[in-house]
A and B are shown apart, each in its own frame.
Chain A
Amino acid sequence: MAAETMRLFGAGARMNAIRILRTRGQAIAHTLTDFIWHSGAMLAPILVAVRFGHIGSWPVAAVVFMLAYGAAVSSVLDALGDSPWNLSQRIGRGQLDHFLVQPQPLWRTLLTDGFTPFDFWPVLTLGVVLMGWSVGRLHVAVSPGWLGLLGVNLLASIAVKTAFLYAWGCLAFWAPRGAEEVSSAASSLIGEVSFPLDAVPRGLRVVLVSAVPSGLLSWLPARALLHVEGAGALDAWLTPLAAVALGACALVLFRLGLRRYRSTGSSRYSDSGHRRR
């Protein structure tokens, strides 16, 4: 099972490399674009932090760490393909059938579809380098335990965003037309947080780490890992806990939706093949 999954990841990586080598100009343009997009989004908050020397209790290096952490999470998610972002479209347009007819479990198709590791390595590299730089500046005691916690939090942040997108995308099982674009709406809602949220009103902060967990994609893990003022002793485990809870919720919704899809199928196309509006 694991070997087959790795084989499909390998096939995705190989096709990604072939595409880059065959369309070098466009591939370079796309890679640069992604790099500019992410680094540019980081630049404005960093410039503000540099101008004032801090943002609240966050020194400049801690702000850089938070943004770099967010960039690393985004780049890994991007490399894993479009499935979470397109789920509602695929369900709404009946394209889930294309996955269901494949001779492999659905989870493996969703996990490996669109794997493009070479498109996003510059942003991942940028994130890792900036995290290393800021950890050095902040004199964080880097131990194997701390690195393990960083890895667990990174995986948890990726899982949180994936689960959030899947949970919303599942709505299309029940409203294939009305909720066809809900995945892209959900992705815009959970956009990356550019500033530390400590100063944000408490009510909004609670929303941003629960219902719309943008704060779990960089702010809360970074605050816990760097022990920024206000961080609790157990905060480093909040994002992994949230990932488990949200993941379970998304899984239940997906299974319920899939059960319904199996009984109703796609109602999007008429018998003659035209899409219904």
Chain B
Amino acid sequence: MVGEFATHPRSSDGIHHRLTRAAGLIPAHLATVRIAAFGPLSDGPWALSTVALRFVRVLILLAIWRTLIPQGTVVSGYGLGSILTYSLVAEVFAAQLNVRTPIATALWDGTIATRFMRPMPVATQYAAEMTGEWALPALLVSAPLLLLAPLLGVDPLPASPARLPLFLASLVLAVAIGLAIDMACTVLIVRIDLGPWVLDAARAVVQAICSGAWVPLALLPFHLGALFDWLPFASAASAPLRIYTGTGDPYRLIALQAAWVVVLVVAVRAAWSASRERVVLYGG
């Protein structure tokens, strides 16, 4: 998205040449996805601890909602059924609704230096790595959660069949916004020389409160949700979940997401182009 081949085109390159070059990069990216997918297995069975944690997290949240919203009542547009589905689907797509590439850590530990030497754009290398890292959690958490949903008393289906394609379109836009936000954070790290964990703290707070990935924004007090709805963080998480559960107008939400994608991609590309020469590495 923000790769060098897009930001620094050589004047002699024609469109055909660029397309051929981009097609040639596909096998390299697929190989990166494959390597990243199997990476967590090298840690042995300990990789499963995060899996267990996610199951515990969703079970706690489902139990909490059952105590707060009695059967048959509707709170700010959410009945018990829709809030349970919301929480379950949020956990199933947790990685896609909170996009993190390894680029910030690589800047900090210095491994990004070797990435600049690979014949692939830096940003898409990390995007491919991130996609690969989704595989194991999808297999061990997302799929079992969807299959076990009826046992947990949750209806895992979308509000209507027509909502499913709209949800998938919205999810793709959410990932694109998440990637742009991740790159924006990387630019900040480069420009103000921050450790990645400094921004991670702020992002964790934003993710917990402003994105709606954990608690639906409509259920926040003081009408905070009405404000957060317009921010890109909500478009990166809350929008697809609201479309899935039938608690939001899909066309308005998707239009807002598309607008954020355009604004963020343009802004982040410009910011990265102006900042990439400032990359300083300390790692070793």
Contact = CB atoms under 8 A, between A and B. Distances in A.
Interface string A160-203: 00000000000000000011011001101101011101111100
A41 interface: yes
Counting chain A CB atoms within 10 Å of each CB, the highest count among B50, B197, B208 belongs to: B208
Interface string B140-163: 000000000000000000000000
Interface of B: 43-44, 46-47, 49-50, 52-53, 56, 59-61, 63-64, 66-68, 194-195, 197-198, 201-202, 204-205, 208-209, 214-215, 219-221, 224
Given A30-B198, A33-B198, A185-B49, A43 B63 contact: no
Contacts of B201: 33-34, 36-37, 40
B53 A36 contact: no
A200 B46 contact: no
Given A41-B205, A185-B50, 7 more contacts: A29-B194, A36-B202, A40-B204, A48-B68, A48-B219, A55-B67, A200-B60
A208 interface: yes
B68 A43 contact: no
A43 B44 contact: no
Interface of A: 26, 29-30, 33-34, 36-37, 39-41, 43-44, 47-48, 50-52, 55-56, 178-179, 181-182, 185-186, 188-189, 191, 193-195, 197-201, 204, 208, 212
Nearest to B224: A47
Contacts of A36: 201-202, 205
B214 to A, nearest CB: 6
Given A48-B68, A52-B68, A182-B46, A189 B53 contact: yes
A194 B61 CA distance: 10
B interface: dominant SS? helix
Contacts of A37: 201, 204-205
Contact of A201 (B63, B197, B209): B63
Contacts of B221: 47, 50-51
Contacts of B215: 44, 47-48
A33 B202 CA distance: 7
Contacts of A39: 205
A197 B197 CA distance: 29
A52 B83 CA distance: 14
Contacts of B56: 204, 208, 212
A199 B197 contact: no
Nearest to B202: A36
A interface: dominant SS? helix
Nearest to A25: B193
B197 to A, nearest CB: 6
B63 A199 contact: yes
A266 to B, nearest CB: 19
State the 7 A-B residue pairs at the shortest beta-carbon distance, nearest first. A40-B205, A185-B49, A37-B201, A199-B63, A185-B46, A33-B201, A51-B221
11 contacts: A40-B205, A44-B208, A48-B64, A48-B68, A51-B220, A181-B46, A185-B43, A185-B46, A188-B53, A195-B60, A198-B67
A44 B212 CA distance: 10
A29 B61 CA distance: 32
A56 B209 CA distance: 21
B115 to A, nearest CB: 22
A208 B66 CA distance: 19
A44 B67 contact: no
Given A188-B49, A189-B52, A40 B208 contact: yes
Given A40-B208, A201-B59, A191 B53 contact: yes
A44 B221 CA distance: 11
Contacts of A33: 197-198, 201-202
Contacts of B53: 188-189, 191
A74 to B, nearest CB: 13
Contact of B60 (A30, A41, A197): A197
A50 B220 CA distance: 8
Contacts of B219: 48, 51
Given A47-B220, A189-B49, A200-B59, A55 B68 contact: yes
B46 A199 contact: no
Contacts of B50: 185, 188
A201 B66 CA distance: 11
A63 B54 CA distance: 22
Contact of A179 (B46, B194, B224): B46
Contacts of A208: 56
Contacts of B43: 181, 185
B145 to A, nearest CB: 15
A39 B147 CA distance: 35
Counting chain B CB atoms within 10 Å of each CB, the highest count among A40, A179, A194, A197 belongs to: A40
